[in-house]
Amino acid sequence: MTTLKGRLLLPLTAALLCLPLTALAASKVAEVTLDNGARVILKDDFSWEYLIIETPDASVQAAEAGDTELVPEASAPSAAAAPAAPVAKAAPVQLNSTAMTMPELLGKAGKDGISVSFAEAQWQGDRLGLVFDISSEHNEELVEVMVQASFFDDQGQKIKQEELQVWRAIKRIPDTYLRKGQHRRSDIIWVEGLDKSRWQKQLLQLKITELSTW
């Protein structure tokens, strides 16, 4: 029986096989559109990620540029008051329509033979507990895997970002190392500062940021 993960990765694998070898070897980023309409960027560090963030058009950017706050400049020894300096407000980060209609694209990341996927969540009061699955096809034994986790509310707006340690081995205990061909499950990782009522759809974007060996 084909799993949901298998159905997502099969078209990605097929798309990768269709790329010329020069594209895979190039240092610049390549972009692939899958049969399901999702877009994937491929990086020269052997990582990939879905394009899920909304890109504002020129009219929206112009409107946001005009929406500024006046921030007083530092006082100077002058009789004339210094003019306030306008500071543009940062545009909110928003998931695009592809991510909202196919939320299964979220919650997984790959880099250099390591894949991390969001497995389950639980609440303990105001704390959110996350569990991840980690798989390795990396040639070296890893002792630490770090991911950047971006949380989006049920309307697709980014509300929080944290760096999470999803795997940590114990020094000089080889059984705890993450080896090639292994599949591991993380301990529960607790995150605070999220509103449970705004995170019912469990929209979570992952990006592997660090792979460490001894």
Report the CATH number that the domain containing residue 114 is assigned in CATH.
2.60.40.1620
Residue 112 is assigned to a structural domain of this protein: yes
Answer whether 0.75 is exceeded by the pTM.
no
The pLDDT of residue 119 is 97
164: domain range?
106-212
Task: Tell me what percent of the residues of the chain surpass a pLDDT of 90.
Answer: 51
Residue 89 is assigned to a structural domain of this protein: no
Res. 116: pLDDT tops 80 = yes
Residue 34 is assigned to a structural domain of this protein: no
Which structure tokens are listed for 54? 């909304």
Higher confidence at residue 20 or residue 189? 189
**What residues contact 127, with CB distance under 8 A and at least 6 apart?**
190, 191, 192
Strands (E) across 114-202 are located at 114-124, 127-136, 144-152, 158-168, 183-185, 189-191
Residue 83 is assigned to a structural domain of this protein: no
The pLDDT of residue 2 is 44
Dihedral angle sign, alpha carbons of residues 57, 203, 135, 9: negative
**Residue 86 binned pLDDT confidence (cut-offs 50, 70, 90):** low
Q: Compute the distance between CA of residue 29 and CA of residue 191 in angstroms, rounded to an integer.
A: 32
Contact 146, 208 (CB under 8 A): yes
Which structure tokens are listed for 86? 């306008």
Residue 91 is assigned to a structural domain of this protein: no
The structural domain count of the chain equals: 1
Res. 72: pLDDT tops 50 = yes
**Residue 18 binned pLDDT confidence (cut-offs 50, 70, 90):** very low
Which structure tokens are listed for 115? 């894949």
Residue 159 is assigned to a structural domain of this protein: yes
Residue 46 is assigned to a structural domain of this protein: no
Bridge partners of 212, per DSSP, are: 144
Residue 118 is assigned to a structural domain of this protein: yes
The pLDDT of residue 6 is 47
DSSP for residue 140: S
Q: What confidence tens digit (pLDDT) does each residue in 127-174 have?
A: 999 999 999 999 999 999 999 999 999 999 999 999 999 999 998 899
- Of all helices (H) and strands (E), which one includes residue 62? helix 58-66
Q: How many CB atoms lie within 10 A of CB 16?
A: 15
